[in-house]
Structure 1
Amino acid sequence: MKSNNILYIAIALALFNSGCKKALDLKQQGVYTSDNYFRNETDAINAVSGIYSLLEEEDYIGHAESTFDTPSDDYWRSGDHGEDEAIENLTYDASNPAIRYPYKWRYEEINRSTNCIINIPKITAISADIKNRSLGEAYFLRAFGYWRSMLIHGDVPIITDEDYAKQLFNVPKSPIEEVRKQIESDLLKAVDLLPESYGPSDRGRVSKGTALGLLTKLYMYWEKLPEAIATGQKVISNPHYALATNYADNFTRANENSTELLFSIQALQNVVQNDFTVYYIPRPWGGYGFSQPLQGLANEFEAGDPRKQATLLAVGDIIDIGLVSTRQTVFTADLSATGFAFRKYAVFNPPSGTNDGGVDHTFAVPLLRSADIYLLVAEALIRTQGAGAGDALINQIRHRASASLKPVSGAGMKELIHERRVELAGEGERHQDLMRWDKKNIVDIAAIYNLPVSKAPVDQSKTITFVRPKNYYFPLPQQEIDKSKGVLVQNPNFK
């Protein structure tokens, strides 16, 4: 998608060749609406590129969505966004800006996707392959918008194609069961329409494996474990979605071509800034210094697990941040209040001549990896067939990390939970994982969130009070409730 720099915008071209004419004499040119924009293959491709462009939004996937993982026991929110403190401590209310920011962008993604779903089929000057691919992308991206809305809020509005055609956007919430069915329907259509893989010119586009991967996650959250196993196996068995040779390869510039990245945020140096990585990088290195890992996460890694070094920067570690003056920079205590930062997002360009390199904005940030699907299927096998049923998949993940890691045998949920924590650290899964496990009495999230950890170099004990069922979902933004004039009803635990 990086090859398409024309994103979803209304293009207004003003011709001023006859500058002496009065304004009223000028004929308006290049005004596009949904009715006249979708004319040919290029228009379809550009419209879909405009959906992808939303992933770069700082108040959406670029940063705001990651805020919802800050209550977890993996890291401290850090940063200078005061509203994030209430999210981390679960003391928020419906007026919290962090809840409001991404809500509109999710529905912008849903609306742009629906616009493509309605109008691309009407195009005649388009190849069948591009038409199918474009529709598949739109169905997936719409599903992803609903997926994020459902995870965060539970019951949310569904804007149907008929609603969109009537420009009817002020609709009541649908029960979470209906939202899940909507996501499932869109993902199944995406699976049918999307190609298995792409060539270099189209890297970053979602594939059949992307849709199957998200569908697997949906079934896990839906507690449809047999369906999750069957769907996830289609990802695991397909070489197009094979694990990267080395764990750390997922967090380098080279990962743009990785088969493991089912879905990622794409950016382009000096064209589109990738805010996601910037938020994780220490301020003196050109970042914002948010989401600093806690000692408890560092303690979770086994001795000899190279994923620890690939994931975390600790005091005394050396990293190349692309400085002309010194190619090897030491991570010092003043760079983090917890003593750690996420190395997996600290990707830098090498210097060019006498110029420093700086933050790498072409690094593809993973949003969904095949490793996640391996572990979800392993979990579903354990929960349906008993301890040991997921050993083979867990051991594939462990062996990829290091051949010296002891294989699991007879692994149950304890081992599975450990593996997900260290494999996916900092990738936005921990808080949601703990909540879904808590709902099934597999873990006690309230106890976990009050578990003391090492106080060095600062007090890293979280004293968060998790209230069931209130904190399983966040409230709808109060601003949206007010704008709806009674159509939207707040989640019952926040009235």
Structure 2
Amino acid sequence: MMITMQRIIYICTAAFLLLSACNVLDVKPKGNYTTGNYWRNQSDALDGITGIYNILLEEDYTGFNEFVFDNCSDDQIRGGDHDYDQVIEEFKYDPSTYSVRVGWRWKYETINRANNALIYIPKISDIEDGIKNRCLGEAHFFRAFAYWRLLLVYGEAPIVTEQDVLDGNYDKPKVSEEELRTQIEADLLQAADLLPESYEAADKGRVSKGTAWGLLCKLYMNWAKLDKAIEFGTKVTTNANYALAPNYADNFSVATGNNSEMLLAVQTVDGWGYSDFITYHAPRAWGGWSFFYPVKGLVDEFEANDPRAAVCFMGPGDKINIGTEMATYTADLSTTGRHYKKFCSWKSTGGLNYSLKTPLMRSADIYLLVAEAKIRSNGPGAGDAEINAVRRRASAALTPVTGAGMPQLMHERRVELCGENERHQDLIRWDKAKLIDITTYYNKPKLAYDGSVVEPARTFVRPKHYYFPIPQQEIDRSKGILVQNPNY
């Protein structure tokens, strides 16, 4: 996969009909490649699909901006110098806020590239059947993933499919949450049918059946279809190809990041595949930008004997290998006195190691969603096996749960997945299901580790803050076809 990705990085902008100016309603060809002289053979298909993966590197997408939305949660606080990150965290954003609008483009660029692949790859004759099916499965998956992120961020958005491309029909109104979920479901079921269960070493990092099943599980939880979440989540938890990594830390290591548990990650190789994710997390003193700080409530959530805390965080007195030396972490490196350690790595020659993968979906997430669905369907204790599998992997010293209900499940998700862009969406899902009152989490201050207030109490308004507004620039460009979300 990496050889293919290195090839595509130079040609991907010419090989597609790209979405111009962040607008699903404005598609213009760029470069000298057209559908008439591209999509000729297996090599074109492979490069074209890898070009979809390439979008995940973008700073305004999963390279950074998608993770800004989790600053809304009670787990972390913004750092850095972006004033627009502050209004996201404080629920004071509007349709023109930078973080609200920039990701729209990359989601629709993913959709556009996937649509082109789905139109033209079936017409290629000079291609192995297995490769053709895999490429089509990857295209279906990434179109679903883009619509999934649109669903989570905006709630409602336009759907553009292959037929729309063929008809030149880009002036599309947004559809309902239900229609978005139905489109995502259809794409993921197609992807699961077409994708392989696993890959040889050269293709590690590509999406698999397990990736599609995992996102189906997440979709069905969002949809409150608990039986379907259990059905597809169990396909992951019972398949050895997607087993939990032997050690929690394996998921956050350059050497072991592409393990069986990593269902989806941003693929980077130091020297060419640059993603800003690690830069935004590492301390400024050691080559990063310090944009995400874990708060006291999150750090204190870990049990005293839980070794995941040492993997997840840097704290005062910790010795950190920054490549050229063992540096000592001090509280003044962070507004809260802590950094995320799990998203940082340095080269032995010095400098950040950009081969560290960005986790977007892990099997542990799916184990815990299956546990949640079972608890909500069948009562306390029904999800003990899945929760204990995650805890046992973390440490044999952690006491197994017995008769676990939602409080134990919520705890386990918070510590296992901290910083991985799940907490805000978890709290929203639980609030919608009336399992919690989200205002009791958000309408109180965030604290530094010394107990000082680093973010005052915020006002979460339901249902307004379940979603962000449609970017105003997209509404303006649509000339009245796109309509703003309610309450904005």
Quote the Cα distance in structure 2 between the aligned partners of 1:125 and 1:454.
60
Deviation at 1:35, TM superposition (A): 3.0
Letter in structure 2 aligned against 1:306: P
**Secondary structure of the structure 2 residue equivalent to 1:298:** helix
**Secondary structure of the structure 2 residue equivalent to 1:70:** helix
Q: 1:364 aligns with which of 357, 360, 364?
A: 357
Q: 1:407 aligns with which of 386, 400, 413?
A: 400
Letter in structure 1 aligned against 2:2: K
1:297-318 deviation digits (Å, cap 9, x = unpaired): 0110011100111111111111
Q: Is the 8 A contact 1:204 1:256 kept in 2?
A: no
1:419-455 deviation digits (Å, cap 9, x = unpaired): 0000000000000100110011111111111234655
**Secondary structure of the structure 2 residue equivalent to 1:34:** coil
The answer as to 2:277 corresponding to 1:283 is no
- Superposition map of 1:392-471 within 5 A: 392-452=385-445, 454=447, 456=450, 458-460=452-454, 462-471=456-465
The range that moved more, 421-430 or 445-454, is 445-454
The answer as to 2:338 corresponding to 1:336 is no
The answer as to 2:209 corresponding to 1:208 is yes
Quote the Cα distance in structure 2 between the aligned partners of 1:280 and 1:390.
33
Quote the Cα distance in structure 2 between the aligned partners of 1:160 and 1:124.
23
Letter in structure 2 aligned against 1:406: T
Deviation at 1:366, TM superposition (A): 1.1
Deviation at 1:404, TM superposition (A): 0.6
Letter in structure 1 aligned against 2:471: P
Q: How many residues align?
A: 469
* Residue in structure 2 matched with residue 147 of structure 1 by the alignment: 148
Quote the Cα distance in structure 1 between the aligned partners of 2:7 and 2:114.
16
**Secondary structure of the structure 2 residue equivalent to 1:366:** strand
Deviation at 1:167, TM superposition (A): 2.8
1:443-490 deviation digits (Å, cap 9, x = unpaired): 111111123465526424541100010000000000000000000000
Quote the Cα distance in structure 2 between the aligned partners of 1:225 and 1:235.
15
Percent sequence identity over matched residues? 53
* Residue in structure 2 matched with residue 300 of structure 1 by the alignment: 301
Deviation at 1:274, TM superposition (A): 2.0
Q: Is the 8 A contact 1:337 1:458 kept in 2?
A: no
- Superposition map of 1:474-485 within 5 A: 474-485=468-479
Letter in structure 2 aligned against 1:450: N
* Residue in structure 2 matched with residue 391 of structure 1 by the alignment: 384
* Residue in structure 2 matched with residue 185 of structure 1 by the alignment: 186
Quote the Cα distance in structure 1 between the aligned partners of 2:357 and 2:68.
20
**Secondary structure of the structure 2 residue equivalent to 1:278:** helix
Deviation at 1:2, TM superposition (A): 2.0
* Residue in structure 2 matched with residue 2 of structure 1 by the alignment: 2
- Superposition map of 1:59-78 within 5 A: 59-78=60-79
Quote the Cα distance in structure 2 between the aligned partners of 1:453 and 1:157.
36
Letter in structure 1 aligned against 2:409: L
1:278-327 deviation digits (Å, cap 9, x = unpaired): 1111112111101100011011001110011111111111110101xx2x
Q: Is the 8 A contact 2:244 2:261 kept in 1?
A: yes
**Secondary structure of the structure 1 residue equivalent to 2:136:** helix
Letter in structure 2 aligned against 1:481: I
The answer as to 2:486 corresponding to 1:492 is yes
The answer as to 2:264 corresponding to 1:234 is no
Quote the Cα distance in structure 2 between the aligned partners of 1:317 and 1:65.
29
Quote the Cα distance in structure 1 between the aligned partners of 2:194 and 2:456.
46
Q: Is the 8 A contact 1:209 1:262 kept in 2?
A: yes
Quote the Cα distance in structure 2 between the aligned partners of 1:311 and 1:429.
15
1:167-206 deviation digits (Å, cap 9, x = unpaired): 3222100111011000000000000000001111111110
Against the structure 1 CA distance between its residues 11 and 213, is the aligned structure 2 distance closer, same or farther, given a 3 Å change threshold? Answer: closer
**Secondary structure of the structure 2 residue equivalent to 1:36:** coil
Q: Is the 8 A contact 1:280 1:341 kept in 2?
A: yes
Q: Is the 8 A contact 2:77 2:455 kept in 1?
A: no
1:71-109 deviation digits (Å, cap 9, x = unpaired): 100000111111111100001111101111101110000
Long gaps (5+) in structure 2? 17-30
**Secondary structure of the structure 1 residue equivalent to 2:264:** strand
**Secondary structure of the structure 1 residue equivalent to 2:481:** coil
Letter in structure 2 aligned against 1:262: L
* Residue in structure 2 matched with residue 345 of structure 1 by the alignment: 343
Q: Is the 8 A contact 1:73 1:462 kept in 2?
A: no
Deviation at 1:36, TM superposition (A): 2.5
The answer as to 2:141 corresponding to 1:137 is no
Q: Cα RMSD over matched residues?
A: 1.3
Deviation at 1:261, TM superposition (A): 0.2
Against the structure 1 CA distance between its residues 460 and 233, is the aligned structure 2 distance closer, same or farther, given a 3 Å change threshold? Answer: same
**Secondary structure of the structure 2 residue equivalent to 1:493:** coil
Long gaps (5+) in structure 1? 13-29, 352-356
Q: Is the 8 A contact 1:292 1:340 kept in 2?
A: yes
Letter in structure 1 aligned against 2:167: K
Letter in structure 1 aligned against 2:73: S
Q: Is the 8 A contact 1:77 1:88 kept in 2?
A: yes
Deviation at 1:273, TM superposition (A): 1.4
Deviation at 1:256, TM superposition (A): 3.5
* Residue in structure 2 matched with residue 171 of structure 1 by the alignment: 172
Letter in structure 1 aligned against 2:461: V
The range that moved more, 296-305 or 452-461, is 452-461
1:259-281 deviation digits (Å, cap 9, x = unpaired): 00000001111112121111111
Quote the Cα distance in structure 1 between the aligned partners of 2:46 and 2:447.
51
Letter in structure 1 aligned against 2:218: K
Letter in structure 2 aligned against 1:334: D
Letter in structure 2 aligned against 1:368: M
- Superposition map of 1:151-162 within 5 A: 151-162=152-163
Quote the Cα distance in structure 2 between the aligned partners of 1:311 and 1:256.
15
